[in-house]
A and B are shown apart, each in its own frame.
Chain A
Amino acid sequence: MGYLLAYGWAGIIAFCVLMYVVLDGFTLGAGMMMGFLDSKERDIAMSVLLPTWDGNQTWLVLGMASLYGAFPPAFSILLPLLYLPLMLMVLCLLLRGVVFEFRLKSTAGRNRWDFIFTLMCIIVTLIQGSILANMIEGFDGHGFRVDGFTVLVSLVVLVGYGLLGSTRLVLKTTKQLQLKMYRVTFILSLILLPALLAVSLASLFVHPDIAGFWLNRDYWGMLFIFPLVSLTSFFLLFLSIHRHWELMPYWAVVLIFICCYGGFGLDVFPYIIPHRLTILDAAAAKSTLQFIMVGAVIMLPVLLIYTGYAYYIFKGKVHDAIHY
């Protein structure tokens, strides 16, 4: 029972972070895409993001709150370890968030706000990538650091979020803007495929445990799923770009993300802070885990339903900029 609760919560937190990556990922990505767009197109892109950006970001809030409640030692050790990156990230998220409101009210300053928006999206993405890299490398004997692997992973996450953004815009826009986004998606996909291969290979070298796991032939019977699904996803991605399908590109990219995320989970397991603290060692007492599990089991399906419903309310193409 103790195991179940602890791993259950690790799974829930992992799910929250995945939801955040896929949803805020497209928000950040679309923000980056705005760097390629003219003023009218930027208004449209913003209109795609405005109704749902707050809910998207909330998955991160939930993930962190759950980490705090279910794994307090991990929360209290990991966050100071990532002090400057996290502080910078929350300030950039703050700046990004306020732009959503400010630019609607601004007349002369809109270009300036859009620039800040795109810049903040890029910085947040790079920071999240660097945190991912450090989680893969682990914190054996050292804290957060920026090395070649960190830079590689950060850039790949940049491309990945960019793809989430561009494919989301393909789904929600029309005419010239949509065509532009198809082109960007194509180029980014061409970059992502070898980039992901590079990261997968590089990660084998950053920690012996990772190589030990992935190169173990006993596991290949299961592990082949990863290359299979990701290559299929890339195939679907290129096919759907070529055929100008609207829904498939975004979901193909999401599938790639899920694949990578699963791989990352296997890199990290059974640690919550690699390689310092395991999930089991960091878990709060049963009285806490049970209490919040009740809430999670009841509320998570509800949350998913009304998140889906909110997206449903705003389905369809964006033709003109929205305001209020």
Chain B
Amino acid sequence: MNLSAELLARIQFAFTISFHILFPSFSIGLATFLAIMEGAWLKTKNPLYLSICKFWMKIFALTFGMGVVSGIVMEFQLGTNWSGFTKAVGPVLGALFTYEVLTAFFIEAGFLGVMIFGWERVGPKLHYFSTLLVFFGVTLSAFWILSANSWMQTPSGALFIKGHFLVTSWWHVIFNPSVMTRYIHMLLAAYVTTVLVIMSISAFYLLKNRHLQFSRKCLSFATSVLFILIFAQIMVGDDAGVIDHEYQPIKTAAIEANWDTQKGAPLILFAYPDQQESKNLWVVSIPHLASLINTHQWNGVLQGLTSVPKSDQPFVPVVFYSFRVMVGLGFLIFGLSIWALILRWKKDLYRHQLFLKTCVLFGPAGFIALIAGWFTAETGRQPWVVYNILRTSDAASNILMKNVIISLVLIFIVYGIIFGFFYFLYFVKIIRQGPQNVEHIKMPFGYLQV
């Protein structure tokens, strides 16, 4: 591949969006968790729940801000580096983003301040209402964003005329063929990711014999929902795969490293895909399963990569491996959730040393699966930016290479220092401090009514 302004722009986008997706996902999960915990506190008046709220809210506040600022980079970057894209899809996706900000983002951003700083300023019911609004905002935001991205994968409701899209049906734009499945898949991913972090930190405290009441409550909650979440996620993931195959068969071919169109295609567990030669080396596979999984038929036809010219094929190794990372982690998490249920039944959940250590290890697993899944989705989408209609290479802006180098280097440095180092520093600090003792719940604030 030649080093070009376009390649640098792609790297820049991939880098910034990979960081960005981590924070809102975690925020979605935490907002949901906080809505549940604060509700539990209001209902039961058990100060343990308040302690849980106040601790996780610190993590939430830290994380939410990162999501906002990295999001602004994305919004501007679409315009600066992908002007061909924004010019063409502005009438469609620009409208969806406008709605996202109007109906969702403003709510989160507006009521976040009340949620975090307004504990002593408003009554408990009004405060809870703010928490619910933030939860609602992040969840609705996710819908608009997934609708936009799904439209890129399975465009509908618009005609491509004279270089830009003209909407014929907003219903079909927003509720395009893949949005509901992918939206739910994303929400579940956010929830699983967050639950794994909760388990990880709770297990850590239990191993250190600290904050026992707090950790047991959190671990209990997390492990009881994990099984349902990951089970649902696997089901929804399967559905996403079927939809992929129906609307993006070449992406499916890349995921399965299926070079030739065939019936009863084998599931390739592991291989080394050779893009040049259009074949796989060192294959470990199970017959028929790829067809079964993607078409739900034993002898279903899977279109092969070679059925389209090389210029229409995505870069298979990335799609292939990232998919396996995601699914592999998915099944490991599933295993962990079953183990948790068994331990719970045996009343050994809080003391089993190996289990607790595994929980700690699995803290980042959700994030890795998230990135892997998005890599599959977006690199599998290539070479298209709007599937089968607009190519990514036609969507890039005409920017001087030296300018892109400058922005790319600055981004690497800033993101590396801020997200790569300082975010973790303060995250760890919050964990070290731990939750307040249940008896000592009290938070001083400086605002006085005038």
Give the interface of A toward B (CB within 8 A).
Answer: 47, 50-55, 57-58, 60-62, 64-73, 75-80, 82-84, 86-88, 90-91, 93-95, 97-98, 100-102, 105-106, 284-285, 287-288, 291-292, 295-296, 299-300, 303, 306-307, 310, 313-322, 324
- Complex Cα distance, B117 from A101, in Å, reads 12
Contacts A285-B166, A310-B110; A75 near B86 (Cβ below 8 A) = yes
Contact B69–A105 (Cβ < 8 Å): no
Contact A321–B446 (Cβ < 8 Å): yes
| Interface of B (DSSP majority class) | helix
Give the interface of B toward A (CB within 8 A).
Answer: 54, 57-58, 61-62, 65-66, 68-73, 75-81, 83-103, 105-107, 109-114, 116-119, 121-122, 164, 166-168, 170, 397-399, 403, 406-407, 410-411, 414, 418, 422-423, 426, 429-430, 443-450
- Which residues of the other chain, A, contact B121 by a CB distance below 8 angstroms? 313-314
Contacts A98-B422, A322-B446; A68 near B118 (Cβ below 8 A) = no
Contact B102–A295 (Cβ < 8 Å): yes
- Which residues of the other chain, B, contact A58 by a CB distance below 8 angstroms? 101, 105-106, 109-110
Query: Among the listed B76, B117, B118, B168, which residue makes an inter-chain contact with A87, where contact means beta carbons less than 8 Å apart?
Result: B76
Contact B95–A69 (Cβ < 8 Å): yes
Tell me the total A-B contact number using a CB cutoff of 8 A.
250
- Which residues of the other chain, A, contact B84 by a CB distance below 8 angstroms? 76
- Complex Cα distance, B106 from A91, in Å, reads 21
Contact B106–A55 (Cβ < 8 Å): yes
Q: Which residue of A lies closest to B54 (CB)?
A: A324
A70: min CB distance to chain B, Å: 7
Q: Which residue of A lies closest to B426 (CB)?
A: A105
The 7 closest A-B pairs by CB, nearest first: A72-B90, A320-B446, A69-B94, A79-B79, A51-B113, A68-B94, A76-B83
- Which residues of the other chain, A, contact B65 by a CB distance below 8 angstroms? 54, 97-98, 100-101
- Which residues of the other chain, B, contact A67 by a CB distance below 8 angstroms? 94
| Interface of A (DSSP majority class) | helix
B381: min CB distance to chain A, Å: 20
- Which residues of the other chain, B, contact A88 by a CB distance below 8 angstroms? 410
Contact A285–B167 (Cβ < 8 Å): yes
A61: min CB distance to chain B, Å: 5
Contact A296–B410 (Cβ < 8 Å): no
Contact B414–A83 (Cβ < 8 Å): no
B39: min CB distance to chain A, Å: 20
Contact A62–B101 (Cβ < 8 Å): yes
Contact A77–B83 (Cβ < 8 Å): yes
